[in-house]
Amino acid sequence: MLGGDLSVARRGLMFILSSPSGAGKTTLADRLLASDNNLTLSISATTRQRRPGEAHGKDYYFVSEEEFTRMRENAEFLESANVFGHHYGTPRSLVEDTLRQGKDVLFDIDWQGAQQLDEVAGEDVVKVFILPPSREELEARLRKRAQDPEDVVQKRMAKADSEMSHWAEYDYVIINYDLDESEELLRSILFAERLKRRRQIGLAAIVKDMIGDG
């Protein structure tokens, strides 16, 4: 499996996917997670309503406003933001435990969260922005998902331009024309990032064994 089983001890990375709502990052995240044992999803907490088919503890932790405020005041979030009028936050504990084990964490978060993680975790962060092929296709995908009422679709489309204006803050940008192709591109990025010398913390000892001190 591509990049999933490197034998050198490695520092885990934080793989962030952002996009305007409906471009396809949750679908792509599910595909990556399904075939990569070294990747763990960061499950966010949110105050938004659960959609049909979403499960507490799998897609999100669905919490009340009061619980969200309590968690934020207790410093339980690595980052948090208000997106489309609801609160979203990344619980700190799973991320820190996973990285400590040398495994990677996948984040499906907006640009505000990506900026905050960049500030706290700099070198461990890899940010990918997913663009739709066009605004028309973005709207079509939001409707095709058929999980949000019309006013929510309109609200998300109204924010799409300002969300997309953050594309240049990201390390990589993928236009999601085709799911198979985009999945492959994401895997390639992950594979290359895992091989970065600074992440392969076991490498120095291996090379020292091979060539001694000189």
Ligand X SMILES: Nc1ncnc2c1ncn2[C@@H]1O[C@H](COP(=O)(O)OP(=O)(O)OP(=O)(O)O)[C@@H](O)[C@H]1O
Ligand Y SMILES: Nc1nc2c(ncn2[C@@H]2O[C@H](COP(=O)(O)O)[C@@H](O)[C@H]2O)c(=O)[nH]1
CB nearer to ligand X: give 12 or 40: 40
User: Using CA atoms, how far apart are residues 186 and 173, in angstroms rounded to an integer?
Assistant: 10
**Rounded to the nearest whole angstrom, what is the least distance from the CB of residue 195 to ligand X in the complex?**
27
Give DSSP secondary structure letters for 45-69: EE-SPPPTT--BTTTBEE--HHHHH
- Is 141 an interacting residue with respect to ligand X (CB under 6 A)? yes
Interface residue with ligand X among 11, 92, 103, 145 (CB under 6 A) is: 145
**Rounded to the nearest whole angstrom, what is the least distance from the CB of residue 210 to ligand X in the complex?**
44
- Is 179 an interacting residue with respect to ligand X (CB under 6 A)? yes
Q: Give Cα 153 to chain centroid, integer Å.
A: 22
**Rounded to the nearest whole angstrom, what is the least distance from the CB of residue 195 to ligand Y in the complex?**
27
Which residues 6+ apart lie within 8 Å of 45 measured at CB?
Answer: 60, 61, 62, 63, 67, 68, 71, 77, 87, 88, 89, 91
Backbone angles phi, psi at 151, to 5 degrees: -65, -30
Residue 133 and residue 177 in contact, taking contact as beta carbons nearer than 8 Å: yes
Enumerate binding residues for ligand Y (CB under 6 A). Answer: 21, 44, 48, 79, 81, 83, 88-90, 108-110, 112-113
- Is 27 an interacting residue with respect to ligand X (CB under 6 A)? yes
Q: Provide the residue count of the chain.
A: 214
> Which residues are part of a known binding site for ATP?
19-26
Per DSSP, helices labelled H in 47-130 are 65-73, 92-100, 111-121
CB nearer to ligand Y: give 70 or 208: 70
CB nearer to ligand Y: give 11 or 48: 48
Whole-Å CA distances, 69 to 60, 72, 73, 92: 16, 5, 6, 15
- Is 42 an interacting residue with respect to ligand X (CB under 6 A)? no
**Rounded to the nearest whole angstrom, what is the least distance from the CB of residue 196 to ligand X in the complex?**
27
Residue 22, contacted partner among ligand Y, ligand X, none, CB below 5-8 A by kind: ligand X
- Where along the sequence are the contacts to ligand X (CB under 6 A)? 19, 21-27, 141, 144-145, 176, 178-179
